[in-house]
Amino acid sequence: MKKTVNLNHNKTIYLLAFSRMAERAAYFGVHTLITLYMIDSVGMTQSEAIVVFSMLLA
């Protein structure tokens, strides 16, 4: 019989996965906050704010 290899992940993999997930959540959260700021404080319409923000990303 073949000896099975330990397939458990170590703790660093879970830390890496959590940090990547938090990074993505913060990235898209900032996108939302900037768009909402342009709509509420600057006085743009929703379509104008989306167009301006999409120009910033390009």
Q: What is the pLDDT of residues 6-35, one digit of tens each?
A: 778 888 999 999 999 999 999 999 999 999
3-state secondary structure (DSSP) of residue 39: helix
Asked if 38 and 44 count as a contact pair (C-beta separation under 8 A), the reply is yes
pLDDT value, residue 50:
92
Asked if 39 and 46 count as a contact pair (C-beta separation under 8 A), the reply is yes
pTM: 0.65
Give the start-to-end residue ranges of the domains of the chain.
11-57
Asked if 38 and 53 count as a contact pair (C-beta separation under 8 A), the reply is yes
Q: Alpha-carbon distance 35 to 48, whole Å?
A: 10
Q: What is the CA radius of gyration of the chain?
A: 21
Q: Given pLDDT bands bounded at 50, 70 and 90, which one contains residue 5? A: confident
pLDDT value, residue 38:
94
